[in-house]
Amino acid sequence: MNTPPSPSPLVHVTRGDKIESLHYGHYAVAAPDGSIVEGSGDIHFVTYPRSALKPIQALQLITSGAADAYGLGNIHLSLACSSHWAEPFHVDAVAAWLADLSCKEDDLICGRDYPLDEAAKEALLRQNVDRSRVFHNCSGKHAGFLTTCRHLSHDITGYDEFDHPSQIRYREDLSLVTGVDAGSYNWGIDGCALPAPALPMVDVARSMARLACPGTLPAPEAAAITRLSEAIAAAPEYFWGTAAPCTDLAQVTQGRIIAKIGAEGYMAAMIRDKGLGIAIKVSDGTRRAVTVALFGVLLKMGLLTVLEQTALKNHIMPPVLNSRGTIIGDLRPSPETFG
């Protein structure tokens, strides 16, 4: 039996002039025809992409007609694909969206949480405000599922169930973009309570390539992913948060590159002008490393202009700070893997 390749070094963490930590992992880059054009580590590694698959989950929001029926704009569509930080503008938008659906906070199946944005969380704690489902980073995705359920007259109380029509439709969409029967994947439960598949990394890379080059998909899904990508480009702050890596990447590249982070160190990206798809997994599950690894792939493949690199330098090589806010090191793409 062949032993799968070991993880590759993806990110160095430095302190002074020494490497203090190393983050290892895997990545694969695919073209729309399914060919793997770049990669390292075990490109067939099977794991959960988690929130990195949100753009696929959001396809039905448009193909069902729900988005048009409820007059959803770029903000809503960006939120439907997001892992937002629950900054006040995120919370206000989700709350207004639920009101338009005649839904309450408790109709969201995700659990109650505090904002991921530290300033927003501290402000709420000072006011003795409790956790809320609207504050959950997946509340935009869940509002999207509720919208589809309302439009198609599905039961909104069970949209987390594996055999609910919205989850069946998600598996159909996932099968379409991966080219693999999604029922054959192993399924777990995501942190937000919805079904979550475990996929080989090559399948995710190929699905992102098909989304990046949507002409290879049937017309309804092609139009849907184009509309979602354009919404993210138009409202990138709703896609993650203020000055967040994927927000800034979408903004700086004007939607040419759309990257979606997932929990436990996962990242999936669409290079829309090249028709490429990227999947990255950091083995230790660290969020701080996976965005740096993404930029390592983008730099290695020459996918960022010099001006874009300058605008994104704080994400390409984010500083390490001490408790006084002094820069004492950085994170950087590993030269062993990315050259």
pLDDT digits (tens, 9 = 90+) for 219-238: 999 999 999 999 999 999 99
pLDDT for position 175? 98
Q: Where are the domains of the chain?
A: 8-338
Tokens of 299: 């730099």
What is the end-to-end Cα distance of the chain in Å, rounded? 31
pLDDT for position 95? 98
- Options 1.10.10, 1.10.287, 1.10.101, 3.40.710; CATH for 8-338 is 3.40.710
Q: Are 187 and 41 in contact (CB under 8 A)?
A: no
Could you give the CA distance from residue 256 to residue 22 in angstroms, rounded to a whole number? 30
Residues facing 319 on adjacent strands: 330
pLDDT for position 1? 62
pTM of structure: 0.97
Q: Which residues of the chain have pLDDT under 70?
A: 1
Mean residue pLDDT of the chain comes to 97
From the list 209, 166, 208, 162, the residue with the least C-alpha distance to 185 is 162
pLDDT digits (tens, 9 = 90+) for 52-97: 999 999 999 999 999 999 999 999 999 999 999 999 999 999 999 9
